[in-house]
Amino acid sequence: MTNRFLTGAFAPATDEVTAFDLPVTGRIPDELNGRYLRNGPNPLGLEDPEAYHLFLGEGMVHGVRLRDGRAEWYRNRWVRSREVAGRLGEEWSGDPDTEDFDFAANTHVLAHAGRTLALVEAGPRPYELSYELDTVGPCDFGGTLPGAYTAHTKHDPRTGELHAVAYHFGWEYVQYVVVDARGAVTRTVNVPVQGGPMMHDFALTERHVILYDLPVTFSMDLAADGARLPYAWNPSHPARVGIMPRDGDGSSVRWIDIDPCFVFHTLNAYEDGDRLVVDVARYPEMLVAGRLEDVPAPALDRWTIDPAAGKLSSQRVDDRPQEFPRVDERRVSEPHRYGYTVSAAELLRTKAGEALLKHDYMTGVAEVREFAAGSAVGEAVFAPRSPDAAEDDGYVMALAFDPGRGATDLVILAAQDFTGEPVARVHLPIRVPAGFHGSWVPDQN
Ligand SMILES: [Fe+2]
């Protein structure tokens, strides 16, 4: 087998495992009561391994429940899409007559309004999971979601709303979707776009929604060739950033042309007077000829946008290769001082990240926390020490393979002792494949 996304750090888990009372090195902080969850592609029943695309493996959610200083359980579960349920010999939980696009959500997992949701972009609905990660079924937010949803949402700490921008290859628009604190869609806005851009993420500030219409677009040629992910770098597509007031409509978007690039992920964004500040991981190009194998390294940039003048200036914050930018979730859409990323020198090689970075945007200093070679450390998720603790006063959690043990640890770092000994390493019973995004879900959610 030569497909690099099926070997090494990416080799899929073969079984669903349930383990209780996990061994721990160090001490799990008593205040961490809840679940660390992470989603990622984990193909099931692959017929053609050479044709496998990392973005299209069936979703598997991994979870670790922490309570009162103990790691109560680890579970990993495939998200039961129609196809996954069929392959596992189970009855699908969705409407058997529906023709809606369906996929085992593989990109993100979070909780909102009492639901645990596995998320993916480009057409399907989310899947709701139980607390123990069993699939409840496709979720349309109680019948209020008109169509597709997406993987990257922004939770507004002021209003409790969950904001998102969904795209679908069949739409001539992207759709801004607001889900209220009770879990119902209260607002959708269609923003016209041309050429089917891949819009993986967006940015949210106190008053604005910021859209990335960048030159990776749906490719009819790739689709005709049978590509499973028919999106590719398209130099003829404009690169532009759209600024829409949160209460605006599709005609109120102000588009600003920028140099060609691609952005998968926003670290955070906020308003600074009349300007907007947007921190992103930026690639000079992406998916050239549809290929993920030779992508250039992403770096951390800061965009400062003057909406009135229609100008965007870009500043390099850190040119070391890095991805999966995260912020203290309580700062989303508000000014932040700190951000956390994963070293990405080998992110899409079989050696995934081997360091986490903590950026202090006030001092311009980044701390680098190295992990053992081959540890394939994943996205860093911040958990505050208490709900009203200061920014960065808490823990950074990430999955890292322990080559000595041959299995993965949930590593818990004190954010303010980023390069010191981990507070705890929770020893999971299996190797968790390198994956995408996750969340710390405290139990009160
Ligand atoms: Fe993502």
pLDDT, tens only, 237-296: 999 999 999 999 999 999 999 999 999 999 999 999 999 999 999 999 999 998 887 888
Shortest CA distance to 20 belongs to which of 109, 108, 132, 135? 132
Query: How many angstroms separate the alpha carbon of residue 268 from the centre of ligand 1?
Result: 14
| Inter-residue contact 265 to 282 (CB < 8 Å) | no
253-258 contacts at long range (C-beta below 8 A, 24 or more positions apart): 253/191, 253/211, 254/307, 254/310, 255/213, 256/305, 256/310, 256/311, 256/312, 258/312, 258/314
Query: How many angstroms separate the alpha carbon of residue 420 from the centre of ligand 1?
Result: 28
Query: How many angstroms separate the alpha carbon of residue 436 from the centre of ligand 1?
Result: 7
Shortest CA distance to 327 belongs to which of 355, 302, 359, 299? 359
Report pLDDT for 245: 98
Query: How many angstroms separate the alpha carbon of residue 89 from the centre of ligand 1?
Result: 30
Query: How many angstroms separate the alpha carbon of residue 266 from the centre of ligand 1?
Result: 9
Cβ-count burial 315-328 (b if 16+ within 10 Å, e if not): eebbebbbbbbbbb
Query: How many angstroms separate the alpha carbon of residue 426 from the centre of ligand 1?
Result: 25
Token pair for residue 185? 């869609």
Q: How many whole angstroms separate alpha carbon 254 and alpha carbon 187?
A: 20
Tens of pLDDT, residue by residue over 405-444, are 999 999 999 999 999 999 999 999 999 999 999 999 999 7
Res. 369 pLDDT band, cuts 50 70 90: very high
Tens of pLDDT, residue by residue over 353-365, are 689 999 999 999 9
Query: How many angstroms separate the alpha carbon of residue 309 from the centre of ligand 1?
Result: 30
Tens of pLDDT, residue by residue over 125-150, are 999 999 999 999 999 999 999 999 99
Res. 12 pLDDT band, cuts 50 70 90: very high
Query: How many angstroms separate the alpha carbon of residue 150 from the centre of ligand 1?
Result: 10
Query: How many angstroms separate the alpha carbon of residue 122 from the centre of ligand 1?
Result: 12
Domain 4-442 has CATH 2.120.10.30: yes
Query: How many angstroms separate the alpha carbon of residue 97 from the centre of ligand 1?
Result: 31
| Inter-residue contact 311 to 275 (CB < 8 Å) | no
Report pLDDT for 22: 98
Query: How many angstroms separate the alpha carbon of residue 325 from the centre of ligand 1?
Result: 10
Beta pairing, strands 135-138 & 153-155? unpaired
Phi, psi of 443, deg, nearest 5? -65, -25
- Going from N- to C-terminal start, the domains of the chain cover 4-442
Q: How many whole angstroms separate alpha carbon 160 and alpha carbon 177?
A: 14
Query: How many angstroms separate the alpha carbon of residue 412 from the centre of ligand 1?
Result: 22
Token pair for residue 23? 């061994």
Query: How many angstroms separate the alpha carbon of residue 192 from the centre of ligand 1?
Result: 23
Phi, psi of 415, deg, nearest 5? -60, -30
Report pLDDT for 351: 46
Q: How many whole angstroms separate alpha carbon 70 and alpha carbon 151?
A: 30
Query: How many angstroms separate the alpha carbon of residue 25 from the centre of ligand 1?
Result: 30
Report pLDDT for 445: 53
| Percent with pLDDT over 90 in the chain | 84
Query: How many angstroms separate the alpha carbon of residue 211 from the centre of ligand 1?
Result: 15
Query: How many angstroms separate the alpha carbon of residue 184 from the centre of ligand 1?
Result: 23
Shortest CA distance to 398 belongs to which of 417, 416, 371? 371
- CA angle 364–367–371, rounded 5-degree value: 155
Question: In the predicted model, what is the mean pLDDT of residues 88-100?
Answer: 93
Query: How many angstroms separate the alpha carbon of residue 26 from the centre of ligand 1?
Result: 31
Report pLDDT for 99: 87
Tens of pLDDT, residue by residue over 375-412, are 999 999 999 999 999 999 999 999 999 999 999 999 99
Res. 226 pLDDT band, cuts 50 70 90: confident
Tens of pLDDT, residue by residue over 156-201, are 999 999 999 999 988 999 999 999 999 999 999 999 999 999 999 9
- SS3 state of residue 300: strand
